[in-house]
Amino acid sequence: MGKYVIKRLLIAIPTFFGITVLVYIVSSLAPGSPLDLLLQDPFITAAEIERKRIEYGLDQHVIIQYIRWLGELLQGNLGFSYRTHLPVWGMIVERLGPTLVLTFSATIFSVLVAVPLGIMAAYKPYSLWDYASSGLSFIGSATPNFFAGLILIYFFAVRLNILPIGGMYDTSGIRTLPMLVKHLILPAAVLSIQQVGRLIRQTRGSMLEVLSEDYIRTARATGLRENLVLVRHALRNALIPIVTELGLMIPFLIGGAVVTEQIFGWPGLGSLMVLSITQRDYPVIMGITVFVAVAVLIGNIVTDLIYSAIDPRIRNR
Amino acid sequence: MANTLLEVNNLQVQFSTIDSTVTAVDGVSFSVNKGETLGVVGESGCGKSVTSMAILRLLGKTGKITQGEILFEGQDILKKSESDMCQIRGKEIAMIFQDSMTGLNPVMTIGKQLIGTITVHEKMNKKTAEKKAIDMLKKVGIPSPEQRMNEYPHQLSGGMRQRVMIAMALSCNPSLLIADEPTTALDVTIQAQIIELMKDLKKTSEAAIIIITHDLGVVAEMADRIMVMYSGQVVEYADARSIFINPLHPYTRGLLSSIPRLDKDVDVLYAIKGSVPSLQNVPKGCRFCERCQDAMEICKNKPPVLCTVGDCSVRCWKYTK
Ligand SMILES: Nc1ncnc2c1ncn2[C@@H]1O[C@H](COP(=O)(O)OP(=O)(O)O)[C@@H](O)[C@H]1O
Ligand code: SF4
Ligand SMILES: [Mg+2]
């Protein structure tokens, strides 16, 4: 088990450096330079710009520039925002909480809805029940977030007026948990719609496959009741591909969060990202990109660990 | 009749798919007395497994018992509720399957699976169940059973896994044990060991045994009676002695001469030529006709019925007066 974890971590290191190289290349290809801001000053002299260029290290070779950037990055220094002149790292930390609340609650909600639906569909395949949940799954995975968001806002916030239209708390300045939950319902629902769709399909598929395995027949032949066969023998085996699917969904979840946060004015990393892109705030864009990439990396490692906790064949490898 | 444990009468099993229905077992009748061992022999695909799964009523969603009755201790299994069947499975009738590779749950320890099986039918605390599980592992000849309890199926060899399956099947003292090709998936030396274990079981336990195999050699020393199946039907059903000394059906003779024998030095084993007819396309006469060396004109057109010759039943025109 320990060996497995170490192996996973060792693989993550070169991946991390690969990510930083990509982020650096892409952002240096993008138009504009940090000096553009200085050019807005009508009294600036060419000598002064040259002095700044040397101060920023822009006269150096691109590889030197990258290494310096990476060195700062490894010390937790992501630079300063062009827009607010605040440290990027602090801006990310401030926005992280709301994004985590949103993505985690959406994931938990999807699992709680989709896994039971998928199991029931697999238990009675080609029944009305199966068709209903398959239908739901197709609609779910085919509905774009922005569309689902607009529909839900229209019905629940505008027509029925039972849920807020956006934001994380109201403007009164008081912050309570019930208020947070009320604001969370719609964005979390929107973010989980596609997840629910994919998860229902994955659960149904892996459950159907597991139910035709020999050890299920063995379990039935011992006189175990069908519901116990499902829970004790089938579910845990079926969970293995479901966990994999959840891991694969992390990038989509983050992408979905960007759109969802924008629609609902949710004060998370996603809406900061959109704002920074429209303002060409490169340090923030780069910071968030590296941060998210590392989060995905960690998410994959956690997925692998859960996976190996479920499946002893992987653990002993 | 008080001695009869299982009686199967005219059993017919069909599988339905969207575009076709096949009859996998067609009018099979046999009985097993208490403590007796019945060998069921036939080539792959002749309906041996389907027959045994029908007895446990575990044919799945596509399989249906369309005719016949299965009396276990005098009661018709086909009339029982699903929850009564759960009481019978594992406790009264236990089963050992061919695929020891895939027959155990890969994500559960051996101990957990054994204890799970024991406690399905017997309420007992964890300690007692664990002790019993270890005893069972000892009984089937697994070395250092305490340690094996914490291991997963993939950590055991094929032979050890099959022993675990046998231990699971025996754990509730069934009165009937069905072993469906328990040695087929194993290599030869391990096969011999498992057969040895099965023979021990026959001696030490009171359970009746149905041992299913495609290899007559496996049942030679074990079975009291033998039923030979071909294409979903019984073709010969007799005392083991008379099958080996005086086989009647041409198919049985073919099977017998394809057993490797130590006392005769043969270079090439005799094998029955041709293959089993497909269930979609059953011949209208004798189903063995195409492969039979003794085939006559009548065999092509009219199916033979099972008839009695002395103590044996045989399905062949040669014995019909
Ligand atoms: N679930 C099923 N669906 C359709 N046909 C089946 C099914 N199970 C078995 N059969 C058919 O029934 C016949 C007998 O199979 P089986 O009893 O497994 O043979 P064997 O004697 O080798 O154990 C085979 O021709 C097989 O194709
Ligand atoms: S009935 Fe005819 S074809 Fe069939 S086994 Fe007997 S002799 Fe052979
Ligand atoms: Mg079989």
pLDDT tens digits, one per residue of B203-244:
888 889 999 998 888 888 889 999 999 999 999 999 999 999
ipTM here:
0.90
CB atoms within 10 A of CB B315: 24
Q: Does B105 touch chain A (CB under 8 A)?
A: yes
User: What does the pLDDT average to over B121-148?
Assistant: 91
Q: pTM for the full model?
A: 0.83
Q: Does any ligand 1 atom lie closer than 6 A to the CB of residue B53?
A: no
Amino acid at A71: G
Index of the ligand 2 atom closest to the CA of residue B298: 2
Distance, in Å, from the CA atom of B73 to the CA atom of B88, rounded to the nearest integer, reads: 11
Contact call for residues B191 and B211 (beta carbons, < 8 A):
no
The per-residue DSSP string of A244-287 comes to HHHHHHHHHHHHHHHHHHHHHT--SHHHHHHHHHHTT-HHHHHH
pLDDT at A69 over 90: no
At residue A125, the pLDDT reads: 82
Ligand 3 is an ion; residues with CB less than 5 A from it? B 49
- Residue B194, min C-alpha distance to chain A (Å): 19
Residue of A nearest to B169 (CA): A222
Q: Does B56 touch chain A (CB under 8 A)?
A: yes
A218, A231, A235: best to mutate for the B interface, most B CBs within 10 A: A218
Q: Do B152 and A312 touch (CB under 8 A)?
A: yes
**Predicted confidence (pLDDT) per residue in A26-60, tens digit:** 877 877 666 776 677 777 788 888 887 787 777 77
The per-residue DSSP string of B95-136 comes to EE-S-TTTSS-TTS-HHHHHHHHHHHHS---HHHHHHHHHHH
Dihedrals φ, ψ of B239, to 5°? -60, 140
Distance, in Å, from the CA atom of B207 to the CA atom of B169, rounded to the nearest integer, reads: 11
Q: Is A200 exposed, middle or buried (0-12, 13-18, 19+ CB in 10 A)?
A: buried
Instruction: State the distance between the two ends of chain B, measured CA to CA, in whole angstroms.
Output: 30
As annotated, the residues of chain B forming the CATH 3.40.50.300 domain(s) are: 4-92+174-314
At residue A34, the pLDDT reads: 65
Distance, in Å, from the CA atom of A107 to the CA atom of A199, rounded to the nearest integer, reads: 10
Residues of A in contact with B106 (CB under 8 A): 215, 237, 311-313
**Predicted confidence (pLDDT) per residue in A203-221, tens digit:** 999 999 999 999 999 999 9
Instruction: Show the tokens assigned to A42.
Output: 């009508």
Edge-first strand order for the sheet with B75-76 is B21-33, B4-16, B63-72, B75-76
Domains defined for chain A, CATH in brackets: 1-75 (no CATH), 93-314 (1.10.3720.10)
Q: If you ran DSSP here, which 8-state letter would residue A230 be given?
A: I
**Predicted confidence (pLDDT) per residue in B37-61, tens digit:** 999 999 989 999 999 999 999 998 8
User: What does the pLDDT average to over A97-116?
Assistant: 93
Cα–Cα distances (Å) from A271 to A160, A197, A199, A277, B319, in that order, read: 26, 25, 26, 10, 89
Q: Do B106 and A232 touch (CB under 8 A)?
A: no
Residue in B82, B99, B107 nearest the CB of A312: B107
In this structure, the residue with its CA closest to atom 5 of ligand 2 is B316
Quick one: CA torsion of A87, A91, A92, A97, rounded to 10 degrees? 150
pLDDT at B252 over 90: yes
CATH number for the domain whose boundaries are B4-92+174-314: 3.40.50.300
Residue in A214, A223, A232 nearest the CB of B86: A223
Distance, in Å, from the CA atom of A33 to the CA atom of B315, rounded to the nearest integer, reads: 93
